[in-house]
Every structure is written in structure tokens, then in C-alpha cells.
């Protein structure tokens, strides 16, 4: 992940986010599936790492990665879809 450019990192975040959403829906009805829970844990960790790297290199992508004393100033930065990638 460290060697990815901004577009690649954003794509990876989208992929692991989709995987997490998908497995979460499955786990809603299969709560005892240990393999699915391990899959969730693995990709949730990958997502958190990717979000942290993105935050450090390009600014926050989601609210829970903001590390600013002025919590709302992040919204003044260019958005990823505004061609800054």
C-alpha cells in the first residue's frame, strides 16, 4: 500500500470497503461462521491501514481519520473526485 499512488490507494480502499460491507451482510445471518469473521477482521484491518496512509498523504477521506484540532477544516481541501488524484 505504501507504494500506491493516490488513485490506486483510493481504488484499494473502495475494494476493501465493498468486501467489508458484503461480508457484514453475510455475518448478519451467519454469526457463527469463523472463517467469515476472520475474513472480516483481515479486510477491516487492511481498510484501516489504507485509510491511515491516505489520511497521512492526501488528507482525511472519512471523518474518523481526521487528526486536526480544527475538526471541520478538512472539508476545505479538494475532494478526491475533483481531479486532484
pLDDT of 6-42, one tens digit each? Answer: 999 999 999 999 999 999 999 999 999 999 999 999 9
Q: How far apart are the first and last CA of the chain?
A: 16
Buried b (16+ CB within 10 A) or exposed e, 45-74: ebbeebbebbbeebbbbeeebbeeeeeeeb
pLDDT of 35-51, one tens digit each? Answer: 999 999 999 999 999 99
Query: What crossing angle do the helices spanning 6-29 and 34-58 adopt, rounded to 10°?
Result: 150
Averaged over 57-83, what is the pLDDT? 71
pLDDT value of residue 82: 74
The sign of the CA dihedral 45, 48, 50, 52 is negative
Residue 61: band (very low, low, confident or very high) from pLDDT cuts 50, 70, 90: confident
Amino acid at each position: 500500500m505504501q507504494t500506491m499512488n493516490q488513485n490506486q490507494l483510493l481504488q484499494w480502499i473502495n475494494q476493501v470497503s465493498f468486501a467489508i460491507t458484503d461480508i457484514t451482510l453475510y455475518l448478519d445471518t451467519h454469526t457463527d461462521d469463523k472463517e467469515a469473521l476472520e475474513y472480516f477482521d483481515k479486510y477491516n484491518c487492511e481498510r484501516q491501514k489504507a485509510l491511515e496512509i491516505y489520511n497521512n498523504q492526501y488528507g482525511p477521506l472519512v471523518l474518523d481519520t481526521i487528526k486536526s484540532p480544527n475538526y471541520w477544516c478538512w472539508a476545505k481541501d479538494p475532494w478526491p473526485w475533483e481531479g486532484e488524484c
